[in-house]
Amino acid sequence: MSEDDKSFMLEILTPDRVIFSGEIIYLRAPGIEGSFGVLKNHIPFLTALDIGEIEVETSDQKYFFAAGGGFAEVLNNVVSILAETAERADEIDVERAKKARERAEARLRARTEGVNANRARAALVRAMTRLKIASKI
């Protein structure tokens, strides 16, 4: 590895598949206490992830992912993202996300309180994140 090599490893994993695995030069991910960026030689870092957008830059391309919460570990130039769910921008089913958004909005309008309202709010955030990311390609 030469001095000006800026690349490090990233793996994005969900319980049912490997979403991304490869050398990258920049990562931005939605930490629970705010979005954070990672470059080469980042200090060891362990964080919970919020629902949101993951941005990945390789030496020649940019990728966007919609993540549905989880964890990230940065250690020794290897970043592991253990997400509950994650999709690459071009895999997002826009129709399904739109329907999910409508459903969630309808539920919130019905003003049910407690667990259901929280779930609807989370579903709404997930759907809106997906739509936002899908629009980036």
Partner 1 sequence: MATLRDIRRKISSVKSTQQITKAMKMVAAAKLRRAQENILKTRPYAYRLNQVLGHVAGLVDRSIHPLLEEREAKRIGIVAVTADRGLCGAFNQNILRKATEELEAQTKDVKDVFVIAIGRHARDYFRIRPYPVIYESYDFFSHLEFANAVRISEEIIRLFTQHELDHIHLVYNEFKSAIQQNLTVEQLLPIQPVKPDIGRRKLEYLYEPSPDQILDALLPKQIDIQLWRVLLESNAAEQGARMTAMEMATDNASEMIDKLTLYYNRVRQATITKEITEIVGGAEALNK
Stretch that binds partner 1, among 42-50, 92-100, 103-111, 116-124 (CB under 8 A): 42-50
CB contact set of 52 (below 8 Å; sequence gap of 6+): 29, 30, 35, 66, 67, 129
Q: What is the C-alpha separation between 10 and 134, in angstroms, rounded? A: 21
CA dist list (Å): 129 to 28, 67, 110, 122, 125: 15, 8, 22, 11, 6
Q: Does 1 bind partner 1 (CB under 8 A)?
A: no
Among candidate residues 33, 25, 32, 30, the one with its CA nearest the CA of residue 6: 25
Among 39, 48, 106, 137, binds partner 1 (CB under 8 A): 48
- Identify which of residues 46 and 106 has a Cβ nearer to partner 1 in the complex: 46
Among 6, 31, 105, 122, binds partner 1 (CB under 8 A): 31
- Identify which of residues 32 and 137 has a Cβ nearer to partner 1 in the complex: 32
Among 11, 122, 128, 131, binds partner 1 (CB under 8 A): 11
Stretch that binds partner 1, among 59-67, 76-84, 101-109, 117-125 (CB under 8 A): 76-84
Fill in the DSSP letter of residue 90. Answer: G
The neighbour count for residue 115, using CB atoms within 10 Å, is 8
Q: For binding to partner 1 (CB under 8 A), which residues are involved?
A: 11, 13-18, 31-33, 43-48, 71, 73, 75-76, 80, 82
